[in-house]
Amino acid sequence: MRLLNTTTFELEIHNDNNLKYAILSHTWGEDEILFEDVRHPSSWISKRGGSKVLRCCARAQADGYKYIWIDTCCIDKSSSAELSEAINSMFHWYAESEVCYAFLSDAKKGNPITGCRWFTRGWTLQELIAPKRIEFYDENWECLGDRMSLINELVAITLIDRPVLARELPGTSTMRRHGITRSVSMPYYESSLEYLLESYTISRRMSWASNRSTQREEDGAYSLMGLFGVKMPLLYGEGLRAFRRLQEEIIKESNDQSILAYYQQHLTSNIGRLFPSAPSMFVPNIELQYKAEDSQMYFANGGLSVELRLCPCLIETVYWSKPSLLGILDCVLETDFLSRPGILLEQAYDNNSSRYWRISPSALYIIGPNGNGRASPITVGQANNNDITFNLEQAFTRRITLVETSKGGDHTTLSAKTMPLRINEIEQPAQRHFTIDIAYPNPSGSFILPRRSNSFNMRPDPALGMISLHENNSNRFVIIWGSDCDEEASLEKPWCKIWPLQELIDDPDDGHSEEEVVHEIVEVFEQHKFKRMRSFSPHDAEKSGFYHIAIGKNEVKELEPVNTKPD
């Protein structure tokens, strides 16, 4: 660990676990003092960020500390190995410090600290929780108070549970659910902090970071590693994939099923539906359900293996009904300890009875203790209007594998205004035979439901599909269908177009075969499957979020909606 000497302003490397040091928590500003600057003291003292370093060193020296750790200048960021080690060790370093000085550069003494930038940054979450003592200073380095004297304001601003900030060992989860607030102060050491944090669910801890942001997308995940006691290599440039990797590492260390207690407003192709893409998507009021033996979660067979209580249910909208399964999570709601959160599941279309995927990931449901009932959505934004009924007497326990998507493609929706389309086979003349070359999505039955809802508004969601056929290795043609979802439309308007494949080839002399053109169309479908589309053109310039058919003069053939509700 590299520390800054508060007297000589020189960097020194120390491996003494008993060494006492102070540590700085702050938000980066302009002209910060970096690792390269500290080696030339005469050059950095006059820099704008020099005052911050000098003042915090003076504060540490006055408090009797010879050394201080400052992230801007104590890490050689030109070394990827050192940067990775520092970020993976940062929570531990803050926890082992004697005191943390939190410098609020935009705070003025006598004014509320509510709007300070320090409370909006991702990295400062662990810097607030980890240290055994933290003192807050305003823009002039005047002390505003410590964590205990400001605890009421800190709880209100950060929404972090009071026992975490007060270093109180809470009673059992059951005591909190019954409103028993008695807690026991505990002497601090890092294992106690680990035990304290583990008494809160993964979803609860994730929610503490919901209103924080980082300059680099990956740091949103890296800044949370210490909070969950995991380590992982840094891969800057991976984007949202970092948050997915964080959740994968958490699952390796924990069997807490609250990691599945989330709602995903927008699906993205690099995250999918097995994991949410941000901490803000986790439900905060979920508590642990302690069992004699934990049911293990682990990755196997291309998915997440988990033991769930499954209950058959019926999903009904004004247009259709559909049988499904509720996966009841092994955790409880803080406000109703008899109820549990549940997720909607559907068997994946890969001939494996134990593989399921999550449908309607934009909703999480409350499963009450009654034998018969309706699942109430935990509402985010506009309410989910699906009517879900179930009977707990039919519930059973099974180990299943949760997968990202079904083999047939991501075309499930529970939007109340998106009507299903039925594709019926027709009897063709005996002398004509057609062969399917490729289709998107892959055929999965006589019904193809439009794709999943991609927002909480109740406008109809678009469906998009294609199929390429040929007759005797000639006369190749393509059928593409979808639904018009204008912003003003109250209901979707299905469309279907058919044309010879040659009409889709922009330049017949460019050397591309018909097979290559068909596969290019499918690739475009896959690339844009999570976008809202009105219709499709493979030659669209992609300057807007909508795609229009601009090739051929075929008239649109409207399809009649099919009523799939039982009589």
pLDDT digits (tens, 9 = 90+) for 377-423: 664 433 455 678 888 889 999 999 998 865 544 444 434 344 444 44
**pLDDT (mean) for 48-58:** 94
Question: What pLDDT, in 10s, does the model give residues 171-205?
Answer: 433 334 334 333 444 444 445 899 899 999 999 99
Q: Which position has the higher pLDDT, 65 or 514?
A: 65
**pLDDT (mean) for 113-140:** 97
Question: What pLDDT, in 10s, does the model give residues 338-372?
Answer: 888 899 998 876 666 788 988 877 778 888 877 55
Beta bridge partners of 439: 467
**pLDDT (mean) for 66-80:** 96
pLDDT of the residue at 479: 81
**What single-letter amino acid sits at 323?**
P
Model confidence at 292: pLDDT above 50: no
**What single-letter amino acid sits at 509?**
D
pLDDT of the residue at 291: 55
pLDDT of the residue at 51: 92
pLDDT of the residue at 215: 94
**Spatial CA neighbour of 389 closest among 447, 293, 321:** 321
pLDDT category of residue 219 using cuts at 50, 70 and 90: very high
Residues 369 and 294: their CA atoms lie apart, in Å, by: 22
Cα 203 from chain centroid?
11
Model confidence at 497: pLDDT above 80: no
Rank 119-128, 436-445, 481-490 by mean pLDDT and report only the highest. 119-128
pLDDT of the residue at 544: 31
∠413-419-423 over CA atoms, to 5°?
A: 95
**pLDDT (mean) for 218-245:** 95
Taking the whole predicted model, whether its pTM rises above 0.75 is answered as: no
Q: With residue 331 as reference, give the H or E element that holds it.
A: strand 331-333
Return the domain boundaries, the chain.
2-242, 286-403, 409-567
pLDDT of the residue at 9: 93
pLDDT of the residue at 62: 97
- What percentage of the chain carries pLDDT values higher than 70? 65
Model confidence at 3: pLDDT above 70: yes
| Mean per-residue pLDDT of the chain | 76
* Three-state SS sequence of 397-411: EEEEEEECCCCCCCC
Model confidence at 94: pLDDT above 60: yes
pLDDT of the residue at 524: 61
C-alpha count within 13 angstroms, C-beta hemisphere, residue 293: 3
